Amino acid sequence: MKTAIIGDVHGRPFWKKVIDREYNAQRYIFVGDYFDNVKYNTDEQIYNFQHIIAYKMTHPEKEVVMLIGNHDYHYFPEVGNTNTAGYQAENASSLELAIKTFRKDLQVCYQFDDFLISHAGVSSVFMDNTFGAGNWTYENIAADLNNLFNTDPMAFRFNGTDPSGDDPEQGPMWIRTESLVKANRDTLESKCIQIFGHTKIDRIHRIGKITKSRYQLIDTLGTSGEYLVIEDGSIRYDAVDIHF
């Protein structure tokens, strides 16, 4: 199966170009952050989000996976303003309605083969703290996290001691790369390749080299226009023109 994975959207419509180019992919995965971009007003952000949903609904032959980012999390009605970056207080009610209407289409994590995809990365420290050491397995990470979000969204709130999220205890919407690598060096790193966004970079592959390609950061939709494709177990990178 061919899978195209698209980085943080933030209201940008460039994801359409990825789908047009990778029209024969059977699966598209968005790593979240559909909102909070000063270059696009709230109505544009909501329209863009709804357009992704519409694509998903009108193409049942495709698997369209929409993950939750930190810039989506604070618009879940039961979460509310968490005093985290980007929160659009004046338009929060409209954004909360968009999330509430389509929340069944959103999830925290997705995994297939040897790949684990989330918004910011899954830390084994977070898993131990949340589920208990020895009470979770790699094979069930996505199911465990998605089920937990459905029952207790506040379990994914921003935590730890570092204000930027650079802490191994942070959850899969918030953790920064250095802490993720530190947390997983003797655990998840040997079991999977993690693919995530959250931290904006210029090009995907430069970060992959630094982290021995066990971590693929793809928050590049607004910089180089790069995205990632997995087919037959192999990873390749491509890019779309992000100018109209």
Model confidence over 47-72: pLDDT tens digits? Answer: 999 999 999 999 999 999 999 999 99
Q: What pTM was estimated for this model as a whole?
A: 0.96
Q: Per-residue pLDDT for 217 more than 90?
A: yes
Q: Per-residue pLDDT for 151 more than 80?
A: yes
| Range with lowest mean pLDDT among 24-28, 62-66, 134-138, 211-215 | 211-215
Predicted pLDDT of residue 130: 97
Q: What is the mean pLDDT of residues 3-16?
A: 97
Cα gap 180→201, rounded to integer Å:
16
Domains along the chain? 2-120+193-239 (3.60.21.10)
Q: What percentage of the chain has pLDDT greater than the value 70?
A: 96
Residue bearing the bigger pLDDT, 86 or 212? 86
Q: Per-residue pLDDT for 205 more than 80?
A: no
Does residue 219 contact residue 7 with C-beta atoms inside 8 Å?
yes
Q: Per-residue pLDDT for 210 more than 60?
A: no
